Amino acid sequence: MASVIVRFQAKEANIEKAIEQLELYLETLDVSPEHQFQIQTCCREALNNIVEHGTQGQQESPLMFSLSLWLEKHPNRRRARVQITDNGAAYEPPTASPKPDELSLSGRGWSILQQWSDELSLTRKQGLNYLTITKRLD
């Protein structure tokens, strides 16, 4: 099982640094361009939300995020699993998938994550958010 982990202070400039590291790693794993794009887009959406909304309320320590990706190889399938962890404010995902206004510049992130992942979970433990995105690569 191959893996990569990156950790950054949650600032806008660091989102692209994390995505660049992810892109370099995905290229070494023989992941199709379509799957690479979908995984990167999901990660970018999640990281943007952390940076934009994670500082709601007071923070005792700097807002941080980490992104971990590992590839699971099974006899008949391959899956990429991404876990994004942050110490920001708790996020409660929508229970329904509303269709955002076509001209809206925001509100599309959770829908994109749902559409382009095969499994999606968000939990909060001990002051940390854990978002896990699983994508079949077959």
- Name the residue range of residue 11's domain: 2-136
pLDDT in tens, 51-109: 988 877 656 668 899 999 998 888 889 999 999 999 998 888 777 655 555 545 556 78
Q: Which residues of 24-48 are buried (b: 16+ CB within 10 A; e: fewer)?
A: ebbeebebeeebbebbbebbbbbbe
pTM of the model: 0.85
103-120 mean pLDDT: 80
Q: β-strands 119-125, 2-9: how paired?
A: unpaired
CATH number, position 119: 3.30.565.10
Please give the full DSSP string across the chain, using - where no structure is assigned. Answer: -EEEEEEEES-HHHHHHHHHHHHHHHHHTT--HHHHHHHHHHHHHHHHHHHHHTTSS--SS--EEEEEEEEEEETTEEEEEEEEEE-S------SS-----TT-SSS-HHHHHHHH-SEEEEEEETTEEEEEEEEE--
Distance CA 138, CA 131 (A): 22
pLDDT at 99: 57
Taking the C-alpha atoms of residue 31 and residue 35, their distance in angstroms, rounded to an integer, is 6
Number of domains forming the structure of the chain: 1
For residue 21, pLDDT over 70 is answered with: yes
Q: Give the per-residue pLDDT at 93.
A: 79
pLDDT for 98 equals 53
What pLDDT is attached to residue 8? Answer: 93
Do 135 and 39 form a contact (C-beta atoms < 8 A)?
yes
